[in-house]
A and B are shown apart, each in its own frame.
Chain A
Amino acid sequence: AQSVTQLGSHVSVSEGALVLLRCNYSSSVPPYLFWYVQYPNQGLQLLLKYTTGATLVKGINGFEAEFKKSETSFHLTKPSAHMSDAAEYFCAVTFSGGSNYKLTFGKGTLLTVNP
Chain B
Amino acid sequence: DVKVTQSSRYLVKRTGEKVFLECVQDMDHENMFWYRQDPGLGLRLIYFSYDVKMKEKGDIPEGYSVSREKKERFSLILESASTNQTSMYLCATTRGGAYNQPQHFGDGTRLSIL
Contact = CB atoms under 8 A, between A and B. Distances in A.
Interface stretch (A12-20, A37-45, A63-71, A72-80): A37-45
Contacts of A61: none
Given A102-B45, A106-B42, A96 B102 contact: no
A26 to B, nearest CB: 15
Contacts of B31: 100-101
Contact of A9 (B40, B50, B102, B105): B40
A43 B4 contact: yes
- Consensus secondary structure, chain A interface: loop
A96 B97 CA distance: 10
B42 A43 contact: no
Interface string A84-115: 00000010001111101111011110000000
A60 to B, nearest CB: 12
Contacts of B43: 44, 90, 105
A94 B31 CA distance: 15
Interface of A: 9, 32, 34, 36, 41-46, 49, 51-52, 90, 94-98, 100-103, 105-108
